[in-house]
């Protein structure tokens, strides 16, 4: 090694040492800043493994929190995303330690972690989206549940009234009651349309089993992707439905539905998609012209109201059941024009479902 | 000493030698420098994605007077993020001091460390499995599938059988190992007897096992009673790895850490002291020489996959029995795939047991600290992944690190590329 070489300025080494020093300084000097004078009410959401940008429940729950903040500026909102089920417990604990006024957890996967935390911290308020915990010791958890088959019934009616070819399709992500409930209500709506209009619109992708469809059990046979992520599979299933004569497809599979949109675009005008969970013309605005409507689950308003109630001291544990009546589920129209007469008929049917005059059980209607 | 006459005073010479050493490229120094670079990359990501920082720098374009303010904002944002990361992963000095002086709040004070160790334990086990295969020249990209099936097999044993703890827990862990071995044997036998490339086979088997996971979770045998979703029964308490300091402590760190420690000791003994481990390393260093010296190549290949797969399966069941106690459709899927993380951890730890322990602690700490950072500052947890990936990238390219930090070339041989030998 030459002398010149050994005299080279070891710039990098110095930089490294300096940055290490700077790092330790920041760590040592910095102290947790004092809390703001007017103590805000902390509302916190722990997402499941879908993450905050899933364009589905997690995103809706987060939007509901932000809506609550917009209504009551004293509510400070924050979130933690989970990468696996092992993260649920520490994420909830982090928020308990940070003094959150209410902790919102999302989905059945967080059921156990939420129950454990709720039973260990009786004074901590929780709300859980789309799940009904059964082992609670105290009244500190609000379970947010949604009877989506009511709005899906309206969606089925809309699809049956809008199809030109007399065939519509649906498919699900996985065969869970929270998924099949949509498909079941959709089929019921089509069958109801067939009955009152004397039509013979067929549904591909879901055949309801005998008996009632509830959030605990909603059986039948149908088409499923097997996950909530494979958009290519969604595209294939939808293209097959189109080939089999359908012109409207209702995917109940989260973002997999984007594959259906792609299939509709490929098939061209006259093909359309019924979106699910949260208004497609908002969450996927660019494709709005391909949506005939959305069968929405009212996660946003229910989370917002739970947070607002907790902030004003009016929180009560128990179960919130989203229905057409309390806008916990709703049919929203998309970018495709629907005749006023159909909209009027749907509004009337909605009233009938709310009043219990119209059954959303597909087995109440003859199969065409 | 003798070949270069020392002219300076001995003290100066020794100091200079120390400095010389500090500026000469060595595996440890490259790793430390890669760590620094990883955090620099993370800082750049924070700066370019935080609106308040960008606004402050935009103001600099209209006048240099805004420069100190922009620097301060940048320092504050980056500093608070990394501070939250550190206090969330290791210890918060204030809370710790509060616990020391008052005797209360020990749970909160020790939670960060407990969490880091909780995440590190299965990662250490899986990474050592991958590392042993790497040292033999075998690329086990299927550790994740092996770990998942280890979890599934362990869930069967742990939730459907009723036995006292002293026999139930070992049987559950053994079932996890067997599950991993079964998945590992497929590529092992295929490579040994048909020459099929293990990278392709192990990689593809991950998908098969992920499908098996969903299938078993939706079968009524393992599914949690009263659930229609993809979630399994809970492991019996007798099959769970209990918290190290008792359930009342509120700390999640569990006996899985002890299992990981045993695995580290076993791996060190196996690689450094056992004759089979020697055969493994010789095969990894030079397959032709190994064959010429009478090492049975087929047996080595199969045994590597038995050990590597078994350790991955053990990692899966340790994760299950130590943290969640039930399986769901997201078990070790996606970002949570410790079998995939194990590949990078193993590379970072240079496939050696002790190096892997440090690398696992770093990765676990970044993940745990990232969560605290997200809760405190709103910067997404994904930043931790960015830093992890950047560190591994720099470790894998020692020449780049050497140039950035202007390190001396080692005189005694090259630092071997951690990833050399791919496909050989």
Tens-place pLDDT, residues A237-296: 999 999 999 999 999 998 899 999 999 999 999 999 999 988 889 888 899 999 999 999
- Nearest neighbour of A30 by CB, restricted to B22, B39, B79: B79
Q: What is the pLDDT of residues B4-44, one digit of tens each?
A: 554 555 666 677 777 777 777 788 888 889 999 999 999 99
* DSSP-derived 3-state class of residue B365: helix
**A321-333 mean pLDDT:** 93
CATH number, domain of A94, equals 3.40.50.2300
- The answer to whether position A319 is within a domain reads no
The Cα–Cα gap between B358 and B72 comes to: 33
User: Is B33 within 8 Å of A12 when comparing Cβ atoms?
Assistant: yes
Which of B22, B120, B322, B371 to probe the A interface (max A CBs under 10 A)?
A: B371
Nearest to B371 among A8, A80, A216 (CB): A80
Q: Which residue, of A113, A146, A179, is where some domain finishes?
A: A146
Residue A323 lies inside a defined structural domain of this protein: no
The DSSP string of A30-56 is --PPPPPSS-PEEEEEE--TT-TTSSS
- pLDDT over threshold 60, residue A157: yes
Query: How sure is the predictor about B419, in pLDDT bands with cuts at 50, 70 and 90?
Result: very low
Helix axis angle for B297-319 and B165-194, nearest 10°, is 140
Assigned domain for B375 exists:
no
Shared domain check, A290 and A161? yes
* A56 close to A50: Cβ distance less than 8 angstroms: yes
Q: Is residue B167 part of a domain?
A: yes
pTM value surpassing 0.90: no
Residue B83 falls within a domain, yes or no?
Answer: no
Nearest CA in chain A to B87: A27
Domain-ending residue, one of A125, A146, A167: A146
Residues of chain A neighbouring B320 (CB-CB closer than 8 A): none
Domain match, A196 and A267 both: yes
Give the percent of chain A with pLDDT over 90: 70
B288 lies in some domain = yes
pLDDT at B9: 58
With 0-12 CB in 10 A as exposed, 13-18 as middle and 19+ as buried, what is B5? exposed
Domain assignment present for A100: yes
Residue B172 covered by a domain? yes
**Are B20 and B27 contacting, i.e. CB atoms less than 8 angstroms apart?**
no
A 114-173 residues inside an 8 A Cβ radius of B: 134
What's the mean pLDDT when you consider all of chain B?
A: 89
Q: What is the maximum alpha-carbon separation in chain A?
A: 98
Find residue A79's DSSP bridge partners: A45
Please spell the DSSP secondary structure of B191-208, one letter per residue.
HHHH---HHHHHHHHHHH
Residues A138 and A219 in one domain: no
In a domain, A227, yes or no: yes
Distance CA(A206)–CA(A203), nearest Å, equals 7
pLDDT at A29 over 80: no
Determine the average pLDDT of the residues in B272-297: 90
Residue A26 to residue B82, Cβ atoms within 8 A: yes
> Does A224 fall in a domain?
yes
Closest A-chain CA to B409: A1
Judgement on whether residues A79 and A182 belong to the same structural domain of the protein? no
Which domain does A217 fall in, by range? 149-296+337-364
Q: How many domains does chain B have?
A: 1
- A343 and A213 together in one domain: yes
Q: Is the pLDDT of residue A32 over 60?
A: no
Residue A131 sits in the same domain as residue A164: no
What total of structural domains would you count in chain A? 2
**Average confidence (pLDDT) over B122-136:** 96
- Residue with the bigger pLDDT between B7 and B222: it is B222
- Summary mean pLDDT of chain A: 87
Question: Does residue B278 belong to any structural domain of this protein?
Answer: yes
Q: B87 pLDDT exceeds 50?
A: yes
Domain range for B176: 111-364
Higher pLDDT, A33 or B288: B288
Report if residue B322 sits inside a domain: yes
Q: Which of A152-161, B21-30, B238-247, B290-299 has the lowest mean pLDDT?
A: B21-30
Q: Of A54, A74, A35, A39, give the one whose Cα is nearest residue A307.
A: A74
Nearest to A86 among B40, B324, B378 (CB): B324
**Per-residue pLDDT for B395 more than 90?**
no
Are residues A288 and A206 located together in one domain of the fold?
A: yes
Residue B333: the pLDDT is: 82
My answer on whether A107 and A174 are in the same domain is: no
Question: Is there a single domain that holds both residue A160 and residue A288?
Answer: yes
Return the CA Rg of chain B.
24
Task: Output the CA torsion sign for A225, A226, A228, A230.
Answer: negative
pLDDT on residue B8: 52
Which of A217-226, B223-232, B370-379, B394-403 shows the lowest per-residue confidence on average (mean pLDDT)?
Answer: B223-232
Helices B256-273, B297-319: axis angle to 10 degrees equals: 160
Q: Closest Cα partner for B13 from A17, A13, A15, A6?
A: A6
How far, CA to CA in Å, does B150 sit from each of B212, B310, B319, B345?
Answer: 12, 8, 10, 20
Per-residue pLDDT band for A9 (boundaries 50, 70, 90) equals: very low
Q: Does B374 map to a domain?
A: no
Q: Where are the beta strands (DSSP E) in A41-180?
A: 41-46, 75-80, 102-106, 125-129, 141-146, 167-172
- Helices B338-348 and B297-319 meet at what angle, rounded to 10? 120
Distances (CA, A) of A288 to A261, A263, A291: 10, 14, 5
Please determine, for residue A13, whether its predicted confidence score (pLDDT) is greater than 50: no
**Domain boundary residue among A126, A146, A166?**
A146
Per-residue pLDDT, averaged over A4-27, amounts to 44
A11 belongs to a structural domain:
no
pLDDT tens figures, A168-208: 999 999 888 889 999 999 999 999 999 999 999 999 999 99
> CA angle, A359 as apex, A356 and A360 as ends, to 5°?
115
Closest CA relative to residue B110, chosen from B245, B241, B247: B245
Per-residue model confidence (pLDDT) at position A38? 65
* Mean pLDDT, residues A55-63 taken together: 85
Task: Judge whether residue B417 has pLDDT over 60.
Answer: no
Question: Apex CA A95: angle with CA A126 and CA B388, to 5°?
Answer: 130
Q: How far is A197 from chain B (nearest CA, A)?
A: 36
Q: Supply the CATH number for residue B264's domain.
A: 1.10.3470
Helix or strand or coil: residue A208?
strand
Do A136 and A180 lie in one domain? The reply is no
Cα distances (Å, whole numbers) of residue B384 to A26, B38, B363: 19, 10, 9
């Amino acid at each position: 090694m030459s002398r010149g070489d050994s005299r080279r300025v070891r710039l990098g080494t110095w930089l490294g040492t300096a940055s290490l020093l700077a790092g330790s300084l920041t760590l040592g000097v910095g102290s947790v800043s004092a809390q703001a004078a007017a103590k805000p009410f902390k509302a916190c959401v722990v997402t499941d493994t879908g993450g905050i940008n899933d364009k589905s429940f997690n995103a809706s729950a987060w939007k509901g929190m932000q809506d609550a903040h917009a209504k009551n500026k004293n509510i400070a909102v924050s979130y933690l995303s989970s990468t696996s089920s092992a993260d649920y417990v520490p994420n909830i604990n982090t928020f308990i330690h940070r003094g959150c006024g209410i902790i919102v957890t999302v989905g059945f996967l967080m059921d156990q972690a939420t129950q454990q935390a709720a039973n260990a911290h009786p004074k901590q308020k929780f709300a859980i989206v789309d799940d009904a915990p059964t082992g609670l010791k105290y009244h500190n958890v609000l379970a947010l549940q949604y009877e989506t088959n009511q709005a899906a019934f309206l969606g089925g009616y809309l699809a049956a009234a809008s199809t030109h070819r007399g065939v519509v399709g649906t498919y699900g992500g996985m065969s869970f009651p929270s998924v099949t409930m949509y498909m079941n209500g959709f089929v019921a709506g089509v069958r109801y349309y067939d009955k009152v209009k004397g039509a013979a619109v067929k549904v591909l992708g879901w055949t309801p089993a005998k008996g009632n469809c509830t959030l605990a059990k909603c059986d039948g046979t149908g088409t499923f992707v097997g996950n909530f992520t494979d958009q290519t599979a969604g595209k294939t299933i939808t293209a097959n439905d189109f080939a089999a004569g359908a012109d409207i497809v209702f995917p109940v599979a989260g973002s997999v539905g984007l594959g259906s949109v792609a299939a509709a675009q490929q098939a061209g005008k006259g093909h359309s998609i019924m979106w699910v969970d949260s208004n497609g013309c908002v969450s996927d605005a660019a494709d709005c012209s391909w949506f005939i409507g959305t069968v929405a689950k009212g996660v946003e308003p229910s989370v917002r109201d739970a947070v607002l109630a907790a902030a004003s001291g009016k929180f009560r544990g128990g179960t919130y059941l989203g229905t057409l009546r309390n806008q916990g589920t709703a049919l929203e129209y998309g970018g495709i024009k629907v005749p006023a007469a159909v909209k009027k008929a749907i509004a009337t049917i909605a009233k009938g479902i709310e009043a219990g005059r119209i059954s959303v059980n597909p087995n109440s209607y003859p199969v065409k | 000493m003798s070949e270069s006459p020392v002219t300076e005073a001995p003290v100066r010479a020794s100091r200079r030698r120390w400095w010389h050493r500090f500026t000469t490229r060595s595996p440890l120094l490259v790793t430390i420098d890669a760590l620094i670079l990883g955090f620099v990359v993370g800082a750049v990501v924070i700066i370019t994605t935080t609106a308040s920082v960008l606004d402050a720098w935009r103001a600099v374009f209209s006048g240099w007077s805004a420069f100190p303010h922009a620097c301060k904002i940048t320092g504050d944002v980056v500093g608070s993020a990394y501070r939250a990361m550190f206090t969330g992963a290791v210890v918060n000095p204030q809370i710790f001091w509060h616990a020391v002086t008052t005797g209360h709040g020990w749970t909160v004070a020790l939670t960060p460390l407990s969490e880091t160790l909780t995440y590190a334990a299965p990662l250490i086990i899986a990474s050592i499995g991958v590392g042993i295969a790497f040292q033999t020249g075998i690329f086990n990209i299927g550790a994740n599938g092996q770990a998942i099936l280890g979890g599934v097999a362990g869930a069967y044993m742990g939730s459907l059988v009723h036995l006292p703890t002293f026999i139930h827990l070992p049987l559950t862990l053994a079932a996890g190992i067997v599950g991993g071995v079964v998945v590992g044997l497929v590529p092992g036998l295929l490579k040994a007897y048909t020459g099929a490339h293990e990278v392709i086979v192990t990689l593809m088997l991950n998908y098969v096992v992920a499908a098996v996971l969903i299938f078993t979770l939706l079968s009524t045998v393992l599914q949690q009673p009263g659930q229609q979703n993809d979630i399994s029964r809970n492991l019996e308490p007798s099959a769970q790895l209990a918290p190290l300091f008792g359930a009342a402590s509120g700390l999640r760190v569990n006996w899985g850490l002890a299992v990981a420690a045993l695995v580290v000791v076993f791996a060190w003994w196996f690689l450094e002291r056992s004759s089979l481990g020697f055969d493994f390393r010789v095969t990894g260093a030079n397959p032709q020489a190994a064959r010429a010296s009478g090492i049975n190549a087929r047996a080595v290949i199969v045994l590597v996959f038995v050990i590597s797969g078994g350790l991955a399966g053990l990692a899966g069941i340790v994760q299950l029995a130590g943290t969640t106690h039930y399986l769901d459709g997201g078990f070790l899927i996606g970002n949570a795939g410790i079998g995939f993380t194990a590949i990078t951890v193993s590379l970072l730890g240079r496939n050696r047991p002790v190096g892997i322990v440090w690398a696992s602690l770093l990765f676990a700490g970044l993940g745990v600290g990232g969560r605290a950072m997200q809760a405190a500052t709103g910067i997404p947890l994904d930043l931790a992944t960015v830093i992890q990936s950047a560190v591994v990238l720099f470790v894998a390219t020692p020449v780049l690190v050497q140039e950035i930090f202007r390190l001396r070339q080692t005189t005694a041989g090259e630092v071997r590329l951690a990833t050399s030998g791919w496909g050989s």
